[in-house]
Each structure stands twice: as C-alpha cells, then as structure tokens.
C-alpha cells in the first residue's frame, strides 16, 4: 500500500507542475462547453428538447474532460520508459501490479479534479445540478469512470513504445468515443445504427450517468450505467495489469 500511495502522490505532483499540460487537457472541453452552449443552445431549444442546452451539455463535457485527462496519463508510461525511470521503479522490491495501481489512482484523481473544475466553470455559465445527493453520486461516477479510462490508457501505452504512436491511437479512439456518446447531442432521434454503436461506447454510460445524477436526464437506465461502468473498470484494470506486466525495457 505504501508503494501505491507514493506513486499516487507522485503522479499528482507531476501533473500539476506542468501548467501547459493542465491547460491542454482543459482546452478542448472548455471550447466545447463555451462554443456549443452559445452556438447550439438556441437550436436545441427550438427543437423542443424540454431543457436548456447548458443543462444537457455540461455533464457531457465533464465526461469528455475526464476521458481526455485519463487518456493523457498514458504518455507518462512511455516517457518514463524512454528516460529510464520505469526501469528504476521495476527494480524496486514491489510488484508491477502495485506500480500499475498507483499510477492508475494518480491519473484517475487528476481526471476527477479536472472534471470538478469543468463542473464549476459550467455553473458559472448557468448550469445548476438538481440535488446535493445527485452531486455526490456524480462524484462517484466521475471516480469510477476515471479509473476505468486511466487503466485503459495505461494498457494501451504499455503496448506502444513511442509517444507519437500513442497520440495517434489516442486520437483514433477518443474522437469517435466523444461524438458517439451523446455528450453533445441527444441519442434519442439518431439512426438505429448509430444508437447500436453508442451502446458499445464506454463514454456513453459515463456521460449518461453524470447527466442522470446532475440534471435528471437519462437515456439508459441509471442502474445499467452503474453496472456497465463497474464492469468496465474491472475489465480495464485486468487488461491494464496484464499489459503493464509485459512491458519490456
């Protein structure tokens, strides 16, 4: 447990020392939040969706922020492998499983903090969550989602040896996940084929869970969101542990 705690704290310090990285991971979600809320808000209201667009959009942007921050944590694995820090960690008398869990918790904590920052910015723009209980439930959903996405990022980064290749894979995975998750537009009136794809998008359940808890708007059943996120977390942790244990230095 001491090793996990040490790596967790190190990941937090490492991230928040890099101001450019903080701005970078917040940049796209904030751009989506401001541009979409003011640009598509009137169209959304004329469509008669029954709520203002910022109420619909904010949980989706929080989910996007958590996903992007969690995925960005995978680059640390590649940099540490190239500069030798990972080798120093592996020669220590601790298991790779502990190292992986420590890094996952550190990256997930950063992702949750970024999500909370986006939530407060959304509140400044006019978003209001419905209940205090819903707010605390959303924090739990943020944490579970962040752990799942960070573990997935570590798994992918463990299988790739260069940063450019990881960034290419990240963009290839993240952008379809974002736009097929219902984060910026409702899934209700989409073609059936797109709805089917959305059911296989992990971000869909994170966004829908946040939207349900914060705004009382749900596409999936709330229980289904929690079950799927829990299963994804277990699967991605197992996948991440397997991939991390196979890293060759």
Q: Between vectors from CA 140 to CA 136 and to CA 146, what angle results, nearest 5°?
A: 140
Which residues, in sequence order, are CB contacts of 230 under 8 Å at separation 6+? 144
d(CA 57, CA 34): 10
Lookup: tokens for 132: 């205090």
In this prediction, residue 149 carries a pLDDT of 95
Structural domain range at position 156: 2-245
In this prediction, residue 45 carries a pLDDT of 58
In this prediction, residue 185 carries a pLDDT of 82
d(CA 140, CA 146): 10
What percentage of the chain reaches a pLDDT higher than 90?
Answer: 23
Give the model confidence (pLDDT) of 153-208 as tens digits.
999 988 887 878 888 888 888 888 988 888 888 888 778 888 888 899 999 999 99
- In the chain, the number of structural domains is 1
Lookup: tokens for 235: 């699967």
Please provide the average confidence, as pLDDT, over all residues in the chain: 81
Give the model confidence (pLDDT) of 36-50 as tens digits.
766 665 555 554 555
What pTM, to 2 d.p., does this model score?
A: 0.86
d(CA 99, CA 108): 14
In angstroms, the first-to-last Cα distance of the chain is: 25
d(CA 35, CA 99): 39
Give the model confidence (pLDDT) of 90-122 as tens digits.
666 667 777 788 888 888 988 998 899 889 888
Residue 21 has pLDDT above 90, yes or no: no
Q: What is the DSSP string of 230-247?
A: HHHHHHHHHHHHHHHHT-
Residue 148 has pLDDT above 90, yes or no: yes
């Amino acid at each position: 447990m001491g090793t996990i705690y040490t790596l967790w704290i190190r990941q937090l310090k490492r991230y928040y020392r890099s101001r450019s990285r903080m701005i970078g991971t917040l940049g796209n979600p904030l751009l989506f939040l401001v541009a979409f809320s003011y640009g598509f808000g009137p169209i959304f209201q004329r469509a008669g969706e029954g709520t203002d667009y910022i109420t619909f959009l904010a949980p989706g942007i929080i989910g996007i922020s958590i996903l992007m921050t969690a995925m960005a944590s995978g680059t640390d694995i590649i940099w540490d492998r190239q500069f030798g820090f990972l080798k120093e960690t592996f020669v220590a008398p601790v298991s790779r499983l502990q190292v992986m869990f420590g890094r996952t918790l550190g990256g997930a904590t950063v992702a949750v903090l970024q999500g909370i920052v986006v939530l407060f910015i959304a509140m400044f723009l006019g978003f209001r969550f419905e209940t205090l209980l819903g707010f605390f439930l959303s924090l739990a959903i943020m944490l579970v989602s962040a752990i799942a996405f960070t573990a997935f990022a570590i798994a992918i980064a463990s299988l790739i040896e260069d940063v450019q290749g990881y960034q290419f894979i990240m963009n290839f995975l993240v952008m379809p996940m974002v736009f097929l998750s219902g984060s910026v537009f409702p899934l209700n009136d989409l073609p059936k084929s797109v709805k089917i794809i959305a059911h296989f998008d992990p971000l869909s359940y994170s966004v829908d869970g946040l939207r349900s808890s914060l705004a009382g708007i749900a596409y999936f059943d709330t229980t289904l969101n929690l079950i799927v996120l829990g299963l994804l977390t277990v699967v991605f942790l197992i996948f991440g542990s397997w991939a991390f244990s196979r890293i060759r230095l």
